[in-house]
């Protein structure tokens, strides 16, 4: 069933990522990490559905998404980037993407971190963040989504890799994607859950190295 829901707040998260808060319909339920198809409630856009992951938790009184805007696609996210409070989005029912299957290592490339946000928020709220680790790869420092929040939730288990500029502080410079040596330097146990989400080439590289290192990773291809 489709739900037409009003946007009640829009915030900038980074230079090209925005957070949208929406009304929540009665009885709408979802798990951390689940996504739904979203369309814009405007002439010509209602049939153009794209998947986005909830970043709010099921108990929250609102729905929330963190969405990267790609003006170069001339697609839905370019239009979503123009939406304001009072505009509406059309949502389908929730469906599963990446599911939390116990303490492990999360590897995210850019906006591929979005399916992990609700998982971390949920674990944090329940005091169960444990030793979960996020290795987050971005082109530049200004691309890091929710840096302060991840630092607070994960502490030293929040590892930032930067590929296209000299990194700040303890962030690590990587010339290209994380490779096997980098993964070995950051991870001491490959017999634990691994969660991978990023662009296709990022996922392909991470899956290949993790498998070679003996892991059995779970992956979500976020964009081609």
Residues lying near ligand FAD in the complex (CB under 6 A): 35, 50-53, 65-68, 70, 72-73, 75-78, 97, 111, 114-115, 220, 222-224
Nearest approach, Cβ of residue 178 and ligand FAD (Å): 21
Q: Which long-range contacts (CB under 8 A, 24 or more apart) does 122-126 make?
A: 122/32, 122/57, 123/153, 124/153, 125/57
Nearest approach, Cβ of residue 54 and ligand FAD (Å): 8
Nearest approach, Cβ of residue 35 and ligand FAD (Å): 4
Q: How far apart are CA 68 and CA 40, in angstroms?
A: 15
Looking at the Cβ atoms of 104 and 112, the one nearer to ligand FAD is 112
Nearest approach, Cβ of residue 110 and ligand FAD (Å): 9
Looking at the Cβ atoms of 51 and 167, the one nearer to ligand FAD is 51
Q: How far apart are CA 181 and CA 178, in angstroms?
A: 8
Q: Which residues pair with 213 in a beta bridge?
A: none
Q: Which residues pair with 180 in a beta bridge?
A: none
Nearest approach, Cβ of residue 109 and ligand FAD (Å): 12
Tell me which residue has its CB nearest to ligand FAD: 75
Q: Which string of DSSP letters, residue by residue, matches 160-201?
A: EEESSSPPPTTPEE-SSS--HHHHHHH-S--SS-EEEEEEHH
Question: Rounded to 10 degrees, what is the CA torsion of 86, 92, 98, 102?
Answer: 80
């Amino acid at each position: 069933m489709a739900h037409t829901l009003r946007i009640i707040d829009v915030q900038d998260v980074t230079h090209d990522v925005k957070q949208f808060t929406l009304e929540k319909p009665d009885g709408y339920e979802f798990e951390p990490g689940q996504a739904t198809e979203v369309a814009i409630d405007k002439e010509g856009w209602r049939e153009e559905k794209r998947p986005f992951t909830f970043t709010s938790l099921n108990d929250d009184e609102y729905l929330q998404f963190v969405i990267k805007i790609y003006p170069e696609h001339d697609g839905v996210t370019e239009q979503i980037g123009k939406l304001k409070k009072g505009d509406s989005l059309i949502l389908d029912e929730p469906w599963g993407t990446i599911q939390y299957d116990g303490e492990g290592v999360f590897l995210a490339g850019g906006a591929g971190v979005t399916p992990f946000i609700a998982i971390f928020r949920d674990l944090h709220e329940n005091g169960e963040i444990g030793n979960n680790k996020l290795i987050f790869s971005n082109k530049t420092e200004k691309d890091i989504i929710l840096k302060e929040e991840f630092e607070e939730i994960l502490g030293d288990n929040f590892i930032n890799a930067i590929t296209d500029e000299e990194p700040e502080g303890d962030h690590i410079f990587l010339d290209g994607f994380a490779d096997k040596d980098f993964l070995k330097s950051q991870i001491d146990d490959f017999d634990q859950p691994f969660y991978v989400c990023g662009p296709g080439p990022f996922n392909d590289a991470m899956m290949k190295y993790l498998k070679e290192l003996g892991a059995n990773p779970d992956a979500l291809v976020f964009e081609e």
